[in-house]
């Protein structure tokens, strides 16, 4: 089977390419490198021994996307391409709605034209909004989202769901990621945010490697075990294996299935700082700062459905995440640059 990864040179996409290849799938990558690096393609060849066909295109460009489908018989698509910064989405909402929804509509129209009926979508736990009770379950109500990025994910889930209702042969699997962190064990690929990281672990990694002076802990007065925010961090390799499990499941599936990809466990900011310091052998200086707008106190998955439906669960621990993140960061202090 040949799988197209839109945004396949990105953080989650590149790790998924590795796991799909090792499971025997053929991989094609479409990416415009707006938030990734062409170096990733070389690194993927080093890891897998395969040079994946690459189309440097904007997925919203239907003519360019049709060329991919003309030149490859695509059996399924995993749609990673999209802007993903919560903070940036608040500053430039129109570009987030334009980009994330246009890429999806163009992709689905081209898939329809070429009779490709199998879509796996990179969604996010952020669609559960602020109201959700813990642990988050797939059958819970969603929204209201706390930022435009989250709304784009929720709108795209609805677009895909409506299309799957209209086409009884269509299979859609919507994967709601919790907090992906870590890197491939080789240290050749990893998370490489464009600017100052918004997310906790890549920020800690920069402090550990010395390119940032200290971490600001956004609030220590939350109603949690140590007052700091709790999240369900998932190793990116476990997450990638969840995509392979979803591709296998989708072979005999029609309709729409929503599945959480998380560990089911919560870790606080201060626990993550301690784990990273132990994994890297580096002191991680931090200062307590005010809460960040839009943050919630606690969030973690009910991971039951992924186990029941996909036969998949996470294996790697927070210590593994920190070890592999540090291995990547220390070998690539400036990312892919």
Binding site for ligand WQD (CB under 6 A): 84, 86, 124, 126, 177, 179, 198-200, 203, 215-218, 229, 231, 269, 292, 295
Q: Write the DSSP assignment of 77-101 as a string of letters.
A: EEE--S---HHHHHH-HHHHHHHHH
- Show which residues are catalytic: 149
Measured from the CB of residue 62, what is the shortest distance to ligand WQD in angstroms? Answer: 26
CB 239 within 8 A of CB 181: no
Q: How far is the CB of 162 from ligand WQD (least distance, A)?
A: 22
Q: Residue 154 or 310: which CB sits closer to ligand WQD?
A: 154
Which CB, 47 or 268, lies closer to ligand WQD?
A: 268
CB 178 → ligand WQD: shortest distance, Å?
8
- CB nearer ligand WQD, residue 75 or residue 295: 295
Whichever of 21 and 321 has its CB closer to ligand WQD, that residue is 321
Instruction: Give how far the C-alpha of residue 298 lies from the chain's centroid of Cα atoms, to the nearest Å.
Output: 19
Helix (H, G, I), strand (E, B) or coil at 294: coil
Closer to ligand WQD by Cβ: residue 215 or 301 = 215
CA distance 50 to 59: 23
Q: Smaller CB distance to ligand WQD: residue 95 or 216?
A: 216
Residue nearest to ligand WQD (CB): 229
Q: Calculate the alpha carbon distances from 217 to 201, 231, 249, 273, 290 in Å.
A: 12, 14, 40, 10, 8
CB contact at 8 A, 164 and 250: no
User: What are the helix (H) ranges across the chain?
Assistant: 11-22, 39-48, 62-71, 86-91, 93-113, 148-166, 200-209, 236-250, 269-280, 304-305, 318-331
CB of 166 to ligand WQD, least distance (A): 28
Smallest distance, ligand WQD to C-beta of residue 41, A? 23
Residue listed under structure tokens 């009779």:
115
Closest approach of Cβ 314 to ligand WQD, in Å? 16
**Other beta carbons less than 10 A from residue 59's beta carbon:** 27
What span, in angstroms and rounded, lies between the C-alpha atoms of 43 and 219?
38
Residue in this structure with the two tokens 């240290």, named with its chain if needed: 187
DSSP 307: I
Q: Are 300 and 128 in contact (CB under 8 A)?
A: no
Q: How far apart are CA 99 and CA 59, in angstroms?
A: 9
């Amino acid at each position: 089977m040949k799988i197209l990864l839109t945004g396949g040179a990105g953080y989650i996409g590149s790790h998924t390419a590795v796991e799909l290849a090792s499971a025997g799938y053929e991989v094609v990558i479409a990416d415009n490198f707006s938030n990734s690096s062409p170096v990733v393609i070389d690194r993927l060849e080093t890891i897998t021994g395969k040079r994946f066909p690459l189309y440097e295109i904007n997925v919203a460009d239907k003519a360019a996307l049709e060329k991919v489908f003309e030149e490859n018989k695509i059996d399924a698509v995993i749609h990673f391409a999209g802007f993903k910064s919560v903070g940036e989405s608040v500053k430039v909402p129109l570009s987030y709605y334009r980009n994330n929804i246009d890429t999806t509509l163009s992709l689905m129209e081209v898939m329809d034209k070429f009779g490709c009926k199998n879509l796996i979508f990179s969604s996010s736990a952020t669609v559960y909004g602020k109201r959700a009770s813990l642990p988050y379950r797939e059958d819970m109500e969603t929204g209201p989202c706390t930022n435009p990025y989250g709304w784009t994910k929720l709108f795209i889930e609805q677009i895909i769901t409506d299309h799957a209702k209209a086409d009884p042969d269509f299979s859609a699997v919507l994967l709601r990621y919790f907090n992906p962190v870590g890197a491939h064990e080789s240290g050749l690929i990893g998370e490489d945010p464009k600017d100052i990281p918004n997310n906790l672990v890549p920020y800690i990694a920069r402090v550990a490697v010395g390119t940032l002076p200290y971490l600001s802990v956004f609030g220590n007065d939350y109603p949690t075990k140590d007052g700091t925010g709790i999240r369900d961090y998932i190793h990116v390799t476990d997450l990638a294996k969840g995509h392979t499990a979803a591709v296998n499941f989708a072979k005999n599936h029609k309709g729409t299935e929503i599945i959480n990809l998380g560990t089911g466990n919560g870790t606080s900011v201060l626990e993550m700082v301690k784990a990273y310091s132990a994994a890297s052998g580096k002191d991680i200086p931090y200062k307590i700062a005010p809460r960040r707008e839009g943050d919630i106190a606690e969030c973690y998955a009910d991971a039951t459905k992924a186990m029941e439906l996909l036969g998949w669960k996470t294996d790697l621990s927070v210590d593994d995440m920190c070890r592999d993140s540090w291995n990547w960061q220390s070998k690539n202090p400036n990312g892919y640059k």
